[in-house]
Structure 1
Amino acid sequence: MARYIHERFILLFFLLSGVAGMGQKQTVRFISPVHSSIYISSTFGEIRPDHFHSGIDIKTNGSIGEKIYAIENGYISRIKVAVSGFGKAVYVRHPNGYTSVYCHLSRFTDDVAAFVREKQYRQKSYVVDFPLPAGLFRVNKGQLIGFSGNSGNSFGPHLHFEIRETRKEAPVNPLLFSFPVEDTIAPKIYSLYLYPESRITLINNHPGKCILKTRLADVRRYVIPDTLVHVTGPFSLGLETRDYINGSYSRCGIYSFKVLLDKKVFFYLTMDEFTYSETRYVNSCIDYKEKVKYDRNVIRTIIKPNNKLNIYRKVMNKGIVSFSDNRIHRIDFIISDIHGNTSCLHFYVVNTERPVTLTSSTSQDNYLSRMYWDRDNYYSFDGFRLFIPRHALYDTLDFNMEIKPALPRSFSSVYLIQDPYTPLQKCYTVWITPDYFPQGYGSKLLIAEVSNPSNPKPYGGVWTGKVVKGNLSKFGRYTLLMDTVPPSVSPVFNPSLKDFTNLHFIRFIIGDNLAGIDSYNGYIDGKWVLFEYEPKRNLITYRFDKKRLLGKREHHLRLEVTDKRDNLTVYETDFFW
């Protein structure tokens, strides 16, 4: 009993010291961007594919068109309209050194929308991104600045909301600013991971990664089935953990991740802020294979040589644990959300001698070439070349590749480059020589990822006259395919309809069988008109514009859609409006 009380006292001390470090931005007071209660579906710093989530996602009752308000006085400093990413976004610069960002909007306020439309027509592009001077659109705290939506890379109506340090353009955790969010739920801990960090390391007498499922022992305290782990040699740690917030079933990211070794802080990170140049380094601080293969968010303690993240507050011995004695050592994980709700896991580790019946593995020697993280790397074989630039890898890599026969529709062998579970910070370049192709069709070739041959993923590339050169962001299975099929264009109205008098807009479904849509341009009576593109719905929409289109007369529409291999489809029709 005395030992239990002592353990709880130790944990309470570190919990309070951790919570005391939170909220250092709270001297700045903002109001909520929504007038309803704030319910969050995603938190700041949440682990996403190849990036950290740079804001919070605020629910909008599952609907489009909720009013969005400026959180402080300032002026609109930037407007962005994109078919992916943030979709329609407004940036408001405030005099206190911060910029607030409101994303996935369905529409802007009328004055801003008219200004944006002028820009789009001037640039002949739906996609625009431009800065604004301080005096053009001033806003007051609480002023309407837009309406919530589902534009861009959003798969349900919500507001993606960010606060950035204006000078650095660095996203800051919005929940550091005392927005009224109810959160009484502590993070959940699912599994403990131990990783060998040498060829001789054994964990519970086995080589390789060790995964131990946890269970909840009492309120916010987790344990593993056997609290004593036997190790031989150096190892690192990982933890699968997620947070939950009142009013949401969404799995969110944690704020604070702390590891104690024999009651002393061994590893500590917090999600206060980061820069966009850092965000892809998320791949170096997680178990990338667990994320890609199982969608598990496992934060690791090891700091790889090419990990440039600034989220770490303390790291000992590069996150690697190594014992030179045979004593029993205690390890504690203390996981907190930004509101101070905390969960804990503790266990014990003892260093043991290696069993004489086991020999060190030599499988790591089976590789084609050693690729170094801090230098340029090259490899070539039989019509294939590869270049991995310095700082593309997080650590030195024992590189492997296999060559498989061509697929029925491919124009080269299939190249199994390393494996899909090795992360990259930057793109690498490949040159692939086709086995054959119809004369004059080299420009129609493209590189495709074919881990699922029935659903290839296009990666493009450039035909140089002899080979296809392309930049790839992931390792995997690649081959050359060809796209000679033009995009499809189908009207979302009766094609025989010629009188559009009662229509406010017209829509088309556009698609492509492989390379993907590259451009779309509509012309009425020979003049460019604005079509809005929603890739996730394969829709383009033209809204009849009385300012630019004369009414009560015959018109001619020409719609041109081109894919990324310059295959063109033209749709034309005459109509009355």
Structure 2
Amino acid sequence: MKKNLFLLIVFISVLSFSGFIPPVDDSYLTSSFAEFRSTGNSPHFHGGIDFSTFSKEGIPIRAIYEGYVVRLELNDPIYGNIIVLQHPNGYRSLYAHLRSFNYVLQPIVDDVVKEFQNEKVVIEFSDNEISFSKGDVIAYSGKTGEAVKPHCHIEIRNHDESILVDPLEFFEIAPPEGDIILKELIIDGKKVEYNRGSVYTFTGDYPKIEMNAFLKINNNMLGLKEIKLYFANKLMYDILLDEIPMEEFYKPYSVYSKDSIAAGYIYKTYYRLYPEVLGTPIKINNFPTLNTNLDFFQVRIEVFDFWNRKKEFSFNLKRER
């Protein structure tokens, strides 16, 4: 299925509990936190969220809160051109895929580009050397790095940038109308169409379930926030995509299976509901307690979006010996 070909329209209120404002005026979300990406140097998590710039370059990008410039980065293979701000609440915000910067920063960038051309360059600034107020224009939208279309990618990081945090926690966004869809299951490597109450077969010590699921809004898709797997009403596995340590940025297979692909307009990802590779998003793993002699499992999967809306899917698994 194509992603971002038709944009999800989710209108954003101007004030959040943290005081952060959206970086683009009158915009809407097009991607969510920790989605799978197979672009760039290596598969990775989507480190932030995306706001539409209406497929246009040159749209003003605003500081989401007061702060000062930590650094600029040019020609990063994933992020393209970047600006990072430090905020007084301890968090940092990163804005990516930029075409250019505001009138204070662009002359600095122009001088650096004359010397280094298209090389990757990091320009660091002293604390409070260049400050901004909330809402000030800091840059302009582009499609540098791995961006297919112009948009504003924004991340929230802790002070030492060791942890990526879901930016949706910092913006008040009205719940959009939509539905959580389970498109397809993979059980023991075999793709099957989901039907409630159906009986599927598996082999091996324990069932290996993967699911292609997403929040569908009009013709666009957003990733999920949390997935809980139950066997006979016992919680076996819990994936919660609230934060990603930077050391795990290139380890998306703790959550997604290798059947996943997300590059350009193609987006088809499978959440892996068994512990092949563990990571921070895996909050509960009770597979070590599973009775591997059982031949029949009643399966229930609870799926949540960011707004805590839940949908359940249930089926049965029977072991083939």
TM-score, reference length from structure 2: 0.83
2:172 to 179, 189, 195: 179
Aligned counterpart, 2:20: 30
- Residues 343-422 of structure 1 correspond to what in structure 2 (within 5 A)? 343-351=311-319, 354=321
Between the aligned partners of 2:74 and 2:294, the Cα distance in structure 1 is: 60
Aligned counterpart, 2:126: 133
1:213 to 193, 200, 204: 193
Counterpart check, 1:228 vs 2:199: yes
Q: Please say if residues 259 and 269 of structure 2, whose CA atoms lie closer than 8 Å, have aligned partners that are also in contact.
A: no
Counterpart check, 1:46 vs 2:35: yes
Aligned counterpart, 1:237: 209
- Residues 195-344 of structure 1 correspond to what in structure 2 (within 5 A)? 195=188, 209-215=189-195, 223=196, 227-231=198-202, 233-234=204-205, 235-245=207-217, 249-289=219-259, 291=261, 296-304=268-276, 307-317=277-287, 322-325=291-294, 329-344=297-312
Between the aligned partners of 1:150 and 1:284, the Cα distance in structure 2 is: 29
1:72-117 CA-partner distances (Å, limit 9, x unpaired): 1110111011163222211111011111111111211111101222
Letter aligned with residue 293 of structure 2: S
Aligned counterpart, 1:148: 141
Aligned partner of residue 216 in structure 2, secondary structure: coil
Shift of 1:268: 0.3
Structure 1 stretches of 4+ with a deviation exceeding 4 A read 122-126, 230-233, 320-323
Shift of 1:233: 4.5
1:517-564 CA-partner distances (Å, limit 9, x unpaired): xxxxxxxxxxxxxxxxxxxxxxxxxxxxxxxxxxxxxxxxxxxxxxxx
CA change 1:76–1:59 in 2 (3 A) is same
Between the aligned partners of 1:124 and 1:301, the Cα distance in structure 2 is: 45
Between the aligned partners of 1:325 and 1:127, the Cα distance in structure 2 is: 55
Aligned partner of residue 251 in structure 1, secondary structure: strand
CA change 1:133–1:253 in 2 (3 A) is same
Between the aligned partners of 1:338 and 1:145, the Cα distance in structure 2 is: 28
Q: Percent identity?
A: 22
1:148-171 CA-partner distances (Å, limit 9, x unpaired): 122222111111111111224322
Q: Please say if residues 199 and 318 of structure 2, whose CA atoms lie closer than 8 Å, have aligned partners that are also in contact.
A: yes
Aligned partner of residue 160 in structure 1, secondary structure: strand
Between the aligned partners of 1:148 and 1:55, the Cα distance in structure 2 is: 16
CA change 1:347–1:124 in 2 (3 A) is closer
CA change 1:117–1:264 in 2 (3 A) is same
TM-score, reference length from structure 1: 0.48
Aligned partner of residue 146 in structure 1, secondary structure: strand
Between the aligned partners of 1:291 and 1:82, the Cα distance in structure 2 is: 24
CA change 1:105–1:351 in 2 (3 A) is closer
Aligned residue pairs: how many? 298
Shift of 1:176: 1.3
Aligned partner of residue 236 in structure 2, secondary structure: strand
Between the aligned partners of 2:258 and 2:319, the Cα distance in structure 1 is: 27
1:447-470 CA-partner distances (Å, limit 9, x unpaired): xxxxxxxxxxxxxxxxxxxxxxxx
Letter aligned with residue 235 of structure 2: V
1:182-214 CA-partner distances (Å, limit 9, x unpaired): 42323210122222xxxxxxxxxxxxx333202
Q: Please say if residues 239 and 300 of structure 1, whose CA atoms lie closer than 8 Å, have aligned partners that are also in contact.
A: yes
Shift of 1:278: 0.7
Between the aligned partners of 1:175 and 1:27, the Cα distance in structure 2 is: 11
CA change 1:267–1:95 in 2 (3 A) is same
Between the aligned partners of 1:180 and 1:349, the Cα distance in structure 2 is: 38
Between the aligned partners of 2:215 and 2:135, the Cα distance in structure 1 is: 30
Letter aligned with residue 37 of structure 2: R
Letter aligned with residue 300 of structure 1: R
Q: Please say if residues 237 and 287 of structure 2, whose CA atoms lie closer than 8 Å, have aligned partners that are also in contact.
A: no
Shift of 1:255: 1.1
CA change 1:147–1:48 in 2 (3 A) is same
Shift of 1:122: 5.2
* Structure with larger RCO (C-alpha < 8 A, sep 6+): 2
Letter aligned with residue 212 of structure 1: V
Shift of 1:346: 0.5
Letter aligned with residue 300 of structure 2: D
Between the aligned partners of 1:342 and 1:141, the Cα distance in structure 2 is: 35
Aligned partner of residue 314 in structure 2, secondary structure: strand
Shift of 1:322: 4.5
CA change 1:59–1:126 in 2 (3 A) is same
CA change 1:135–1:315 in 2 (3 A) is same
Between the aligned partners of 1:157 and 1:123, the Cα distance in structure 2 is: 24
Q: Tell me, which stretches of 5 or more residues in structure 1 are unaligned? A: 1-25, 196-208, 216-222, 355-577
Aligned counterpart, 1:116: 109
Aligned partner of residue 33 in structure 2, secondary structure: coil
Shift of 1:271: 0.9
Between the aligned partners of 1:51 and 1:172, the Cα distance in structure 2 is: 15
Q: Please say if residues 69 and 86 of structure 2, whose CA atoms lie closer than 8 Å, have aligned partners that are also in contact.
A: yes
Q: CA RMSD in A?
A: 2.5
Deviates more, 1:135-144 or 1:112-121: 112-121
Shift of 1:146: 1.2
Shift of 1:249: 3.0
Between the aligned partners of 1:86 and 1:43, the Cα distance in structure 2 is: 16
Between the aligned partners of 1:333 and 1:249, the Cα distance in structure 2 is: 24
1:170 to 163, 174, 179: 163
Between the aligned partners of 1:55 and 1:345, the Cα distance in structure 2 is: 28
Q: Please say if residues 270 and 311 of structure 1, whose CA atoms lie closer than 8 Å, have aligned partners that are also in contact.
A: yes
